[in-house]
Amino acid sequence: MKSAALVALLFGSSYVLAAEYLVGVGKDETTGKKGIGFDPSVIHPLAGDVVTFEFRSGEHSAVQTTFETPCVPLDGGFNSGIFTVEDNISVDAPNLPTARLTINDTSPIWFFDQASRQCQQGAVFAINPTLAQTPAQFKDNAARSPVAPLTSTDQAPTSTESPSTPAQTSGTGEPNGASRLNIYGVGGRNGMILAIND
């Protein structure tokens, strides 16, 4: 990291780091085991950061919604598609299927796991919630929401396939990224890009 900053300094370019947030779908955030929801269920990324949804055993999805209607897909919003992972796969097994979302700004974004049909039980996720629209209120809204039926357009790939086109939101979707990028930097004037993979 120090060498990356030094390189940016030597070339006189501005240097911006972006973080990756790994979010387990179908993982209980209180136990760390397979379960209902997202782990973590709330994050606060900045513009340029990447959210990687990693799907655990069972059928799961990450579908954008609104604060007011938590269990209903947002038209034109991010939709990972449905991923099916065998039940005997460990919660933290390597190479679980993923879908990536690049954050464009710090506006609130709301999600639910439509595939599991557990939205009303708390399978919801918040990006950059506000004091006026809190994660607790969002979860309460979900508990009172009617169950949304799956439609044929909601059916999506299994864990060995990837959706043909990523859905768009206030970020850029990228299902099943080939490599996991932990930190990356973009230099200003010289267009330098630095990637650190794990």
pLDDT over 60 at 186, yes or no: no
Would you state the pLDDT for residue 148? 58
Across the range 150-161, mean pLDDT stands at: 41
SS3 content of the chain, % helix, strand, coil (to 5): 10, 35, 55
Token code pair at residue 33: 């085991």
What average pLDDT does the structure give for the chain? Answer: 77
Q: Please indicate whether residue 125 or residue 159 has the higher confidence score (pLDDT).
A: 125
- Our CA dihedral for 171, 177, 179, 184, rounded to 10 degrees, sits at -10
Residues 57-96: tens digit of each pLDDT: 999 999 999 999 999 999 999 999 999 999 999 999 999 9
Decide which of 34 and 182 is more confident: 34
What's the mean pLDDT in 39-46? 98
Backbone angles phi, psi at 22, to 5 degrees: -95, 120
pLDDT of residue 4: 43
Q: Considering the entire predicted model, what is its pTM? A: 0.71
**In the chain, what percentage of residues exceed pLDDT 90?**
62
The pLDDT of residue 195: 41
Smallest Cα–Cα separation from 113: which of 85, 69, 90, 79? 79
Q: pLDDT (tens digit, 9 = 90+) per residue, 112-150? A: 999 888 999 999 999 999 999 999 999 999 999 876 555
User: Per-residue pLDDT for 198 more than 80?
Assistant: no
What was the pLDDT predicted at 149? Answer: 59
The structural domains of the chain, ordered by start, are 20-177 (2.60.40.420)
